């Protein structure tokens, strides 16, 4: 049963069509890989699914509800979280405080009040919520960051900052997690750790859509793949079949002559 799907989604930016008639369905408990050459429209699709953009045409359906026109915060409240290709963390806050920003009551305080208050006092004291801190610690432990909990985020190694984004996304208690190149810039050992973390998240019942250029990562963890090329879906199916699809090979390599 699909938890998240697009129906004939098109996105135009002026005269540029970034996505053209893209339809797919992410099943409950599935890890779906989203691949394609640079400029294929992958991040644009993630932006639409997360509410950062709205489709020019078509619909996004989440658990039977049309969320095509919802703002990003409302999409997140319904259970869809994301990470970014370029890491976005609060560098001057601690690792723990970064996770706590995702756990505040947005309707009452909003994350920015915690960010502001955290410059002057510890986040746990600011929140006066030991349960929230315990939950945040558990999330940090799940991604291997508990030892860094009191470290300023700006001091984290790059691979750890990628994990922090994942932990902060998980703090919103998503049912669907959208990952935008979580392994980019990582060495092989760090990529293997990232694969392990993503599998553990999926084993908790969270459905995952992942953009990734590292083929080892995408082939190891995906149940299915979809491929975008110039904004259009050109292939969908099991990873091995998609990987060997002539259209996919041509899209990546430019045809048999270049291959």
In terms of residue numbers, what domain contains 112?
A: 89-173
Same domain flag for 68 and 180? yes
Same domain flag for 50 and 116? no
| Domain presence at residue 221 | yes
How many domains are contained in the chain?
A: 2
Q: Which H/E stretch holds residue 130?
A: helix 130-142
Q: Domain boundary at 138, 173, 208, which? A: 173
Q: What is the mean pLDDT of the chain?
A: 89
| Domain presence at residue 84 | no
| Domain presence at residue 141 | yes
| Domain presence at residue 144 | yes
Same domain flag for 180 and 256? yes
Same domain flag for 41 and 72? yes
Same domain flag for 209 and 238? yes
Q: Domain boundary at 144, 173, 202, which? A: 173
Predicted local distance difference test score (pLDDT) of residue 250: 87
Same domain flag for 68 and 28? yes
The pLDDT tens digits for 30-67 are: 999 999 998 999 999 999 999 999 999 999 999 999 99
Same domain flag for 119 and 245? no
Q: How many beta carbons lie within 10 A of that of residue 136, not counting itself? A: 28
| Domain presence at residue 207 | yes
Mean pLDDT of 186-213: 96
pTM for the whole thing?
0.89
Cα 209 from Cα 31, distance rounded (Å): 6
Same domain flag for 75 and 200? yes
85 confidence band (pLDDT: 50, 70, 90)? confident
Domain with residue 200: its CATH number is 3.40.50.300
Same domain flag for 74 and 186? yes
| Domain presence at residue 107 | yes
| pLDDT for 23 beyond 90 | yes
120 confidence band (pLDDT: 50, 70, 90)? very low
Same domain flag for 169 and 93? yes
Cα 5 from Cα 105, distance rounded (Å): 28
Q: Which residues contact 105 (CB under 8 A, 6 or more apart)?
A: none
Predicted local distance difference test score (pLDDT) of residue 88: 87
Q: Domain boundary at 173, 196, 228, which? A: 173
Predicted local distance difference test score (pLDDT) of residue 105: 56
Mean pLDDT of 137-148: 96
Same domain flag for 23 and 70? yes
118 confidence band (pLDDT: 50, 70, 90)? very low
**Do 136 and 99 meet the contact criterion of CB atoms below 8 Å apart?**
yes
């Amino acid at each position: 049963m699909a938890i998240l799907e697009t129906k004939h989604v098109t996105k135009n930016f002026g005269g540029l069509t970034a996505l053209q008639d893209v339809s797919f369905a992410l099943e409950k408990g599935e890890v779906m890989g989203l691949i394609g050459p640079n400029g294929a429209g992958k991040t644009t699709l993630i932006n639409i699914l997360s509410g950062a953009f709205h489709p020019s045409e078509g619909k996004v359906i989440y658990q039977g509800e049309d969320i095509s026109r919802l703002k990003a915060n409302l999409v997140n409240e319904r259970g869809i979280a994301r990470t970014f290709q370029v890491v976005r963390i609060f560098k001057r806050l601690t690792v723990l405080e970064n996770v706590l920003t995702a756990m505040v009551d947005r309707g009452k305080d909003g994350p920015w009040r915690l960010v502001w208050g955290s410059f002057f006092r510890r986040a746990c004291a600011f929140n006066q919520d030991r349960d929230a801190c315990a939950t945040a610690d558990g999330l940090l432990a799940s991604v291997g960051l508990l030892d860094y909990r009191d470290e300023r985020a700006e001091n984290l190694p790059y691979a750890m900052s990628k994990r922090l984004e994942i932990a902060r996304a998980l703090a919103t208690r998503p049912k669907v997690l959208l990952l935008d190149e979580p392994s980019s810039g990582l060495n092989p050992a760090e990529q293997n750790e990232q694969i392990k973390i993503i599998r553990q998240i999926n084993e908790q019942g969270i459905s995952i859509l992942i953009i990734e250029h590292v083929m080892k990562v995408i082939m190891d963890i995906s149940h299915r793949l979809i491929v975008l090329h110039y904004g259009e879906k050109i292939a969908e199916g099991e990873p091995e079949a998609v990987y060997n699809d002539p259209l996919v090979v041509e899209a990546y390599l430019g045809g048999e002559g270049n291959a």
